[in-house]
Amino acid sequence: MARYSIEEFIERSAEKDLGQGLFELETERILEVNLNGMVWTKMGSMIAYRGDISFVREKILEHGIGKMLKRGISGEGARLTKAEGNGKLYLADEGKKITLLNMADDAIVVNGSDLLAFQDGIDWDIKIMKKVSAMLAGGLFNVRLEGTGLIAITSHYDPIAFRVTPDNPIMTDPNATVAWSGSLSPEFKTDIQLKSLFGRGSGESFQMKFAGEGFVVVQPFEEQPLQAQSSGS
């Protein structure tokens, strides 16, 4: 068992300026945002900050009636917070591992529970998974992000990325699926025979099928759907 004096512990655990720009990983589970302006963050993800930073919950009509209606369906899990000002902001989400992605005129769809933060200027929209119950895909919604800038996504443990090609589709467990490229549109399949292998919490085997050209990111963990969390709280 490691033992440290107080000074040794502080030195070992102290924040470090890595000079990586707007987003940098203070640890693999803590994101440091070197803020000079505004970023979008997952509501409730702030753990500490320095400087002059204000936090503004997204206004219900800020992005038009369409997003308001989607947010009413997707619930609190879709809420975002603006962090504005100058200083250092520290974000985390239940100890999940953080991955930074540098978007360059790209598009990605992220499970609503796995989006931690993204840079101002990236276009985003809530994508409701039609024909799917609220018990799937971490809730009923995902967030599509498009443009250029930094985003931070989270996963339980180390994620794995699968390439998808027209002749090599992949099926995934919805509760373990973190993100996929914006070029893909998943289909949902049901197979009672695979009930014990996929979708253990759903009572039926729901699978996401990805076919086309792109990628899918999966985590080694079946996440409890946001809708189930909110209904139980």
Q: For 18-232, which CATH superfamily applies?
A: Mitochondrial biogenesis AIM24 (3.60.160.10)
Structure confidence by residue, pLDDT tens digits, 87-104: 999 999 999 999 999 999
Q: What integer pLDDT is reported at residue 198 of this predicted model?
A: 52
Q: Where are the domains of the chain?
A: 18-232
The pLDDT value recorded for residue 229 is: 46
The span from the CA of 123 to the CA of 148, in Å, is 9
Two tokens at 49?
């900050």
pTM: 0.82
Q: Which parts of the chain register pLDDT below 50?
A: 60-62, 64-66, 68-77, 133-135, 137-139, 202-204, 226-233
pLDDT given at position 191: 67
Instruction: Specify the pLDDT at position 74.
Output: 42
pLDDT at 135: 44
* pLDDT, tens digit, 9 for 90 and up, residues 171-213: 998 889 999 999 998 988 776 565 555 555 544 467 889 999 9
Q: Which residues of 21-54 are buried (b: 16+ CB within 10 A; e: fewer)?
A: ebbbbbeeebbbbbbeeebbbbeebbeebeeebe
CB atoms within 10 A of CB 61: 9
Neighbours of 133 (CB within 10 A): 14
Are the C-beta atoms of residues 196 and 133 closer than 8 Å to each other? no
Q: Give 4: exposed, middle or buried? Use CB within 10 Å, 0-12, 13-18, 19+.
A: exposed
Pick from 132, 153, 120, 138: which is nearest to 77 by CA? 138
Q: Which of 119, 98, 94 is nearest to 224 (CA)?
A: 94
Give the pLDDT confidence score for residue 194 in this predicted structure.
57
Residue 88: per-residue pLDDT:
96
Distance, in Å, from the CA atom of 49 to the CA atom of 168, rounded to the nearest integer, reads 45
Task: Give the pLDDT score at 170.
Answer: 95
Residue 204, token pair as written in the block: 């039926």
Torsion angle in degrees (nearest 10) through CA of 61, 65, 69, 75 = -20
What pLDDT score was predicted for residue 100? 95
